[in-house]
């Protein structure tokens, strides 16, 4: 991150299903509920959600610039949009983010970004939503960034970005395939190299028999916006990836958070997003200096 600049993210609930937003190619005109500001130096980002027992469970990266290692929080909302609770549910010695949660065969799984660990780990809910265990049988050979699974045409597909240098982490889209969720996974290769939208940024959705994958536009700044990719040919293992429309920050949020949006994820009848403002000043850099000198 550039010197004297600090990213501040804020999550929100758009009260419309993702497929409807994709068809509209806009987030404007839909009711929006913002998630809470969790305080100075901290933010929530990368929201993904599941409904259980009439409650929306929003999983998000919780980040504190004083201790820069992401953990995973869950925020629980009732059917009226009122927040009931928030707590930390997953922490590792390494950074965690992008907590992609999904259901499969009656169980709930989470696939968070954890490339700093040198591997991609799948977690199963022991006691949803608070207790998680690693699925040791999961066999993915890469430390993938923002890995995004999709069950389609009877097989599992993974859209992901390699853990390379800064430019590669913002520009590349690989696709892998497996017959089962745990693998083994086969890498079909690199299918897009484009900083304007290749790194996954949310839930794939099928619209008009095309797979639509939200991706990050990282031109100029990390997480500048969302671009939709159209993907065809998976069932033949011959993916064709076509850049599609961009989705802009909702007008109602743009005044306070004009500088980015990098998640668009489905949660039943609602969609989860995050938006960004860039703060100017030395605060983050002073915190980093203090941590390096004093270890806290």
Q: For 226-237, write each residue's pLDDT tens digit.
A: 999 999 999 999
Handedness of CA 86, 92, 96, 101 (dihedral sign): negative
Q: Domain segments of the chain: what residues?
A: 5-294
pLDDT 10s digits, 83-131? 999 999 999 999 999 999 999 999 999 999 999 999 999 999 999 999 9
- Give the pLDDT mean for 268-288: 78
Predicted TM-score of the model (pTM) = 0.93
How many Cβ atoms from other residues are within 10 Å of residue 44's Cβ? 23
Q: Three-state DSSP class for 283? A: helix
In the chain, which ranges are continuous DSSP H helix?
Answer: 18-24, 166-169, 251-254, 283-294
* 3, pLDDT greater than 80: no
* 292, pLDDT greater than 60: no
Q: Which CATH class is domain 5-294?
A: mainly beta
Q: Three-state DSSP class for 132? A: strand
Local confidence band at 291 (pLDDT 50, 70, 90 cut-offs): very low
- Quickly tell me which residue has 């597909």 as its tokens: 157
């Amino acid at each position: 991150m550039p010197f004297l600049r600090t990213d501040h993210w804020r999550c929100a609930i758009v009260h419309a299903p993702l497929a409807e937003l994709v068809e509209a190619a806009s987030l404007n005109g839909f009711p929006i509920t913002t998630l809470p500001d969790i305080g100075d130096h901290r933010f929530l980002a990368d929201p993904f959600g599941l409904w259980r027992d009439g409650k929306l469970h929003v999983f998000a990266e919780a980040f504190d610039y004083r201790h820069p290692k992401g953990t995973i929080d869950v925020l629980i909302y009732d059917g009226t949009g009122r927040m009931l609770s928030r707590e930390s549910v997953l922490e590792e010695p390494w950074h965690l983010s992008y907590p992609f949660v999904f259901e499969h065969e009656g169980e709930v799984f989470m696939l968070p970004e954890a490339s700093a660990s040198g591997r991609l780990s799948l977690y199963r809910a022991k006691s949803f939503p608070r207790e998680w265990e690693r699925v040791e049988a999961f066999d993915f050979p890469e430390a993938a960034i923002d890995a995004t699974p999709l069950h389609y045409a009877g097989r599992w597909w993974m859209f992901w970005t390699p853990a390379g240098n800064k430019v590669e982490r913002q520009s590349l889209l690989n696709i892998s395939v497996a017959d089962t969720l745990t693998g083994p996974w086969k890498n079909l290769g690199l299918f897009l190299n484009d900083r304007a939208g290749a790194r996954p940024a949310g839930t794939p959705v099928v619209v008009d028999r095309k797979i639509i994958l939200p991706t990050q536009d990282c031109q100029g700044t990390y997480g500048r916006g969302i671009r939709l990719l159209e993907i065809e040919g998976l069932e033949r293992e011959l993916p064709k990836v076509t850049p599609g429309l961009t989705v802009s920050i909702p007008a109602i949020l743009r005044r306070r958070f004009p500088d980015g949006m990098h998640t668009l994820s489905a949660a039943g009848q609602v969609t989860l997003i995050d938006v960004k403002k860039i703060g100017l000043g030395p605060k983050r850099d002073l915190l980093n200096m203090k941590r390096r000198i004093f270890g806290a």
